[in-house]
Amino acid sequence: MALLKQSVPVIWLTQLALWPELMSQFLQMVRCISVREDRQGPVMVQRLHAHPDVVCWQEEHWTLFAIGVSGLVLWCFGIPLALFLRIWALTDRQEPENRRLFGYFIEGLEPRFWYWELVVKRLDIGLMLLIASTSVTTDDKAKLLLFALNSGIQLAVTAWLKPYSNSQAEILDFLECLLLGARFVLFTTVAVLLIFFPPAESMWAWSVSLLVMLVSVIVYAVLHIIGQTLRNAAGQLGGKPKMGEERKIVLCHSLASRSGFLNFDGAGPLTKLKQSVVALLLPLFQPESYLAFHWSDLVFSQDMLLTPGWLLTKLAKASALLLRLSVGFQKEAVSKAYQDFVQLWLSDFDGLNIPNVSVLCALAVACRALPDNLSNSLICSFWKREIKKLAAQADSRWQLFADDFAKTVQMFAMLQKADADDLMRSVQDMLKEANSRDQNGDATASKLPFLTDSEDDDASQTPDEARACKPLLTDSEDDAMSQTPAQATAGKPLLADSEARACKPLLTDSEDDAVSQTPDELASVVSTAEGELVQAGAVMKAASPKEVKIKAKRKRKKPTVQTDVKGSEVKLLEARPGRDGLRAFLGRSFDRGSEA
């Protein structure tokens, strides 16, 4: 019995692997075609397609028909239904043993679409086989049109629901839609060519175009598979932090996997060869820049990556754009994660308020410390324990990447409503405690990220400060990001005294001063060398290592900026591989004050 229980995953996989071929054979047993015969004149006779010597609906055919129908009902319909009911009956699909038995069918899907492979994909394959292996229509051209129709419906449903997980900029949904789109174009084009039958030259041109399209799609999918395999191998070779280790080990796990992390000491020849191959090829399948959010005070990161060659850098940038790994896709992933988090809280868990991004950041930091294969019943308790640890680590600093937000939303969706409410209360209590320490003047209190409006907080300056034209931006260490590398090296200030008096900077010298400019002023004062505007409360893009010019309006309007996060700020890090390795470009921080 123990051996049989351990073999359950193999049994289910074998049954579903044989499913398409068996369904096709069973359908052949019931497929009849009309054959014209001369029996005292032309007569149409129904004969079995697989064995034309068998006349349909006669005694010899009834036996085959019974076997075919029984196989279709018991095997082709019964096996997927039994597996669906078995997984549906599980109280906790994330429990380690259940994931070992049935993880192949639900892994990579969003929790609410766990049935996609068993229902939707089986239905798609079944319809294609039904059209191809039965006499639904006897015209081959009509069959091709039905193939195209079914492919188009499947493509529309997949693009609408997006059932796969959102990790890595929704790469699974993108690949699924790409492959379904290629199938739709293939069947549609072939059907149109057979119907209109263009000249031979046009036929050759369309044939070559279809071949190039199919080869390109296959190569693109293979590149993604290779990249994912290399990233998994890098994670295994680099070692994964355990539950009891410092969370700071997880801090730069994505950056550390680029290069320079492999340890060749004590490894065998095969292991060393594997490490060398991974270290050589991995940069080609990784983002050329990482979008990171600092949940802390302004920190200047040290160089961490080895400097790749010129050709390798160019190839890495091209592959990042091709494989949807660039900074632009990472920004979209962060925005999508926060949108899904708000929708999940308001719709599925009936939340009464819109959670601040601070809540998502706190959950993301704590989520990275959760063990793998954690059952649903234990997620809330482990998560709350990690949330409590954050309150005791006020002086710690963390980096959050796009995949961290996506994984957090996915884990949060697995909770029950009561557990989600309890977890949200724990996060809010932790944030309130941090705000209280900040209000009491605790210099080591942690800052909360991102900004939203609040009616309880007035961020205006006093009339005396406005008349005195108190500068809002200083040359302190926290503003060192506004200098060019040459100025930072030479110790040259960014603005002369006369220029500083002529331009009203953005932030006060005091760490506790509230932001006193209106959103219109904040949106127009900073421009990077790339011509991109940095707006208040927006996700900022790190500038290239060129001189950053700062402009400011002379006119000061009545301050109206309000927040609901006490002493919160967000920084963005874009790590670019360059001559000296990783360069950290941190965006402008905005301090706010109020309760979370």
Which residues of the chain fall below pLDDT 70?
A: 39-41, 235-268, 280, 282-316, 319-320, 394-397, 437-596
The predicted pLDDT at position 468 comes to 44
Does 336 share its domain with 427? yes
Domain hosting 352: range is 327-439
pLDDT digits (tens, 9 = 90+) for 246-277: 333 233 333 333 334 444 455 567 777 777 77
Tell me the C-alpha distance between 592 and 562, whole Å.
8
* Pair 288, 326: CB distance under 8 Å: yes
Tell me the C-alpha distance between 70 and 72, whole Å.
5
The distance between the two most distant Cα atoms of the chain, rounded to a whole number of Å, is 114
Tell me the C-alpha distance between 360 and 137, whole Å.
54
pLDDT digits (tens, 9 = 90+) for 304-328: 333 445 555 666 677 667 777 777 7
Does 395 share its domain with 316? no
Tell me the C-alpha distance between 352 and 274, whole Å.
52
DSSP annotation of 283 reads G
Asked whether residue 49 is domain-assigned, the answer is yes
How many structural domains comprise the chain?
Answer: 4
Does 343 share its domain with 284? no
Contacts of 83 (CB under 8 A, 6+ apart): 12, 15, 16, 102, 105, 118
Neighbours of 91 (CB within 10 A): 9
Asked whether residue 10 is domain-assigned, the answer is yes
Cα angle 366-537-332, degrees, rounded to a multiple of 5: 65
Q: Is the dihedral of CA 334, 339, 340, 341 positive or negative?
A: positive
Tell me the C-alpha distance between 365 and 295, whole Å.
9
Tell me the C-alpha distance between 325 and 574, whole Å.
13
* Residue that is written with structure tokens 């670019």 in the block: 576
From 526, 562, 554, select the one nearest 466 (Cα to Cα). Answer: 554
The predicted pLDDT at position 431 comes to 80
Contacts of 183 (CB under 8 A, 6+ apart): 151, 155
Does 53 share its domain with 124? yes
Domain boundary among 412, 439, 466: 439
The predicted pLDDT at position 259 comes to 38
The predicted pLDDT at position 41 comes to 67
Does 432 share its domain with 480? no
The predicted pLDDT at position 121 comes to 92
